[in-house]
Chains A and B, each alone.
Chain A
Amino acid sequence: MSTTAPVAERPTPETTKKPKRQTSFNEGTGRLAALLLSPTMIVLILVVGLPILAALRESLYTSGQQIDESGFIVQGSKFVGLDNYTAIFSGETGTRFWNAFYNTTFFTVACVVLETVLGVMMALVMHKAFRGRGIVRASILVPWAIPTVVSALLWKWIFQADGIANEMLGTQILWSTEGWQSVLSVIVADTWKTAPFIGLLVLAGLQTIPTDVYEAAKVDGASVWQTFTRITMPLVKPALLVAVLFRILDTLRIFDLPFVLVGPNKESVETLSILAYLEANQTRYGPAAAYATLLFIYVAVVAYVFVKLLGADVFGDAIQRKTKKNGRNGRGRGKQTDPGAPVAGLTAGGGLGGE
């Protein structure tokens, strides 16, 4: 009972609830929040925080790089300050670093854009399709449920010199050699595997949109496109943005696909993660940690920019309060000519709250 009523009322948010909410939800919330968040924070500090600190420390040392007269490695590690970092930017290593930096960025932009477009399309189709829904759901999980190790092998197989890709295209492209073709093969394989991730998340977002919102829009005569841009997108935006954010974080660290599909030491697809791996593989843990740290900083900067530019509602509440007064203009009245306001209103925290 109590669950359905507010859902039905959602399209007509009330603007007067804010003070009430703050009294009812704010009593002693600081301590309560700390208590409730502590398990998460403890786990993360243990499994991520401490290792990061260890890696940061490691990046300031070198070890095992000197050989004594009888041919043995000199034991112990030496503090070298920021030498591992400066070495990365100098000379040949520097060229290699910037190349990897460019590749990483390119992969991220290309893959994430493709995956987002495909993912959203998939979600819409799945949401609309009444026939064949089960099949789509099943098939969409497939690429993603295949272990990365196996899917990399599969694509490698497909892109062999005498593999099925060449046979179907009627070409003799050597996919694993340097050049655009190796880049393309990585993008194809990555998109195939992870677009469903976005699709699934957007679908979950779509499913939480009550149907009456759409019905209202229909009654108001909103076009399909208007419904999509003014209702669907704003409502799934929080889930979508989080999905995209995590895809960005993941793709910036892309490793397996270029490594298995194309191979190490290939300029066209060498990424920052591969550089870090190769250094660690040569037991140069200091430089490896330095690469990892630089990548970490890069990822953090990108995430920050992403959240600042697009993701006001990734963090949600701050903007929600600011724009809430526009909420009333929102859903279902797509034709209304108040530019920006409807979208902003809908954007706020999923727009459903209307506190």
Chain B
Amino acid sequence: MLLASACGGGNDESSGGTSTGGALEGRGPINFATGKDTSGNLTNQVAAWNSQHPDEKVTVSELPESADQQRAQMISNAQNKSDAFSVLNMDVVWTAEFAANRWVTELQPSEFPDLGKLLPSTVDTAKYRDKLYGIPVTSDGGLLYYRKDLLDKAGLQPPKTWEEMVTACTKVKALPEGKNIGCYSGQFEKYEGLTVNFSEAVNGAGGVVVGDDGKPNVDTPEALAGLTALTEGFKTGFIPKAAITYKEEEGRRAFQEGNLLFHRNWPYVYAKAQAKDGSSKIAGKFAVAPLPGQTGAGVSTLGGHNYAISEFAKNKATAADFMKFMSSEERQKANIEKTSQAPTWASLYDDPTLNKQFPYLAPLKASIESAKSRPKVVKYGDVTTAIQEAAYGALTGTMTPKDALAGLQTKLSSLITQ
């Protein structure tokens, strides 16, 4: 029934998951394909490697800025069975797709002794069907940014639940300083960020999008409570109308302009909002807390990047060493010092000097440790589109939250069983 691919070969090489563990052979120059080096620090990191390994130099291929295009280039590289890319810097949500297509090499955990020192939730993102395909190098978790000055004035503690957040805002709005402030925003434009925010709302209410058994289970009262909190937020004005167009940057701007009391965003916002060059009106006036849930602590959605080895690469032994090097404590420390990217090395979060430099590390660690991965499905793109479709529909009021979730459940069931 199935015609063998005309290009053949592919099957034979990679058949038998057993052979892959021993297949990390060959040393020599390799190529590292990554999204644009935004911090400029990658050059330093790679230079550190290259100075120690003159015969196994790493060259960097910078891919376009958009994650979609990075993925597309990596896929086309794999489909051409090209050895141009050796190590891939992959978004955590791509793991399943790349692993299932055998575009990345399976790794033996025994070869990476330091895995145990990384935050377990981050290592989990590199697994597909319990096999390891990547090494987490950076992570990301959602944080609640709040206006400490205003909460202090109202005599309030940072909210632990959604309910507390709503009352806190009412109280702050009663203050003369807080009269015109918007209450809360996350990322609600129809894109990946909406999947993240929707999942957090659902998980924070005790629901799931996809259960631990891998089956979608989103048509539940818990999930409904989570989604309804958001839709009610829009209806009552707790979430400003414009937030439906917010991605990370628009939200950050609104927060920095002093237009938001609470704002859900990633750690990168901290440095920007703290900037003293006049770009932020709230420098020194805000603080960070873990995300609030419906009844207790919230659950963040896990972001971050894993390094993986392209199936078609040469010099895989060098590639594996490079990944160990980049995920090492020393390198990760050097990286956070320069970039504020969340590390995966657990003990770094407890480093006192780092904590001084980055006061958000403690809540961030809590956020990442309890964070949930997005569904690990091969057709992740379809799944996230379906989630966005449902969430956007509910938020813009074109369907009721109940219908949206029921529709999503049906859709996900058909997508995930295949």
Contact = CB atoms under 8 A, between A and B. Distances in A.
Contacts of A73: 100-102, 378
A174 B389 contact: no
A284 to B, nearest CB: 9
Given A66-B418, A177-B244, A263-B189, A76 B72 contact: no
Given A67-B100, A67-B418, A79-B3, A263 B244 contact: no
A176 B379 contact: no
A175 B1 CA distance: 49
Interface in A257-281: 263-266, 281
B383 to A, nearest CB: 11
Nearest to B68: A281
A76 B4 contact: yes
Interface in A178-198: 178
Interface in A38-96: 63-67, 70-79
Given A73-B378, A265-B385, A174 B241 contact: yes
A71 B418 CA distance: 10
Contacts of B128: 71
A70 B129 CA distance: 8
A78 B190 contact: no
A176 B396 contact: no
B38 interface: no
A76 B3 contact: yes
A158 to B, nearest CB: 14
Majority SS of interface residues in chain B? Answer: helix
Nearest to B378: A67
B101 A64 contact: yes
A64 B78 CA distance: 13
Contact of A76 (B2, B17, B75, B389): B2
Given A67-B378, A162-B242, A266 B190 contact: yes
Contacts of A76: 2-5
Contacts of A77: 3, 5
A174 B245 CA distance: 7
Majority SS of interface residues in chain A? Answer: loop
A249 interface: no
A106 B15 CA distance: 50
Interface string B369-389: 000000000110110010011
Contacts of B68: 281
A161 B11 CA distance: 51
Nearest to B418: A67
A76 B101 CA distance: 11
Interface in B65-101: 68, 72, 75, 99-101
Contacts of B244: 174, 177
Interface residues of A, number: 31
Instruction: Using C-beta atoms within 8 Å of the partner chain, give the interface range for chain B.
Output: 35 or more
A86 to B, nearest CB: 18
A88 B6 CA distance: 27
B189 A72 contact: no
B3 A78 contact: yes
A283 interface: yes
Interface in B1-32: 1-5, 10-11, 17
Contacts of B379: 282
B190 A265 contact: yes
A263 B190 contact: yes
B250 A161 contact: yes
Given A263-B191, A266-B190, A70 B17 contact: yes
A264 B102 CA distance: 28
Contacts of B2: 74, 76, 78
B127 to A, nearest CB: 11
Given A71-B129, A78-B3, A177-B244, A283 B75 contact: yes
A75 B11 contact: yes
Contacts of A160: 245, 250
A17 B5 CA distance: 62
Contacts of A211: none
A172 interface: yes
A174 B250 CA distance: 13
Contacts of A74: 2
Contacts of B396: 177-178
A15 to B, nearest CB: 60
Given A64-B101, A66-B418, A71-B128, A176 B245 contact: yes
A338 B234 CA distance: 67
Contact of B72 (A177, A264, A281): A281
A174 B388 contact: no
Nearest to A68: B100
Nearest to A159: B245
A177 B1 CA distance: 45
Contacts of B381: 281-282
A161 B245 contact: yes
Nearest to A76: B5
Interface in B271-319: none
B378 A177 contact: no
A33 to B, nearest CB: 39
Nearest to A263: B190
Most chain B CB inside 10 Å of its own CB: which residue of A66, A74, A281:
A281
Contacts of B189: 176, 263
Nearest to B249: A160
A226 B248 CA distance: 57
A172 B129 contact: no
B100 A72 contact: yes
A227 B5 CA distance: 65
Interface of A: 63-67, 70-79, 160-162, 172, 174-178, 263-266, 281-283
Given A75-B4, A79-B3, 20 more contacts: A65-B418, A67-B100, A67-B378, A70-B17, A71-B100, A71-B128, A71-B378, A76-B3, A78-B3, A160-B250, A161-B242, A161-B245, A161-B250, A162-B254, A174-B242, A174-B245, A175-B245, A265-B190, A281-B381, A282-B382
**A-B interface, 5 closest residue pairs, ranked by CB to CB distance from nearest:** A161-B242, A76-B5, A71-B129, A282-B381, A73-B101
26 contacts: A63-B5, A65-B418, A67-B378, A67-B418, A70-B129, A71-B99, A72-B101, A74-B2, A76-B4, A78-B1, A78-B2, A78-B3, A161-B245, A162-B242, A162-B253, A172-B242, A174-B241, A174-B242, A177-B396, A178-B396, A178-B398, A263-B190, A264-B190, A265-B385, A266-B190, A281-B381
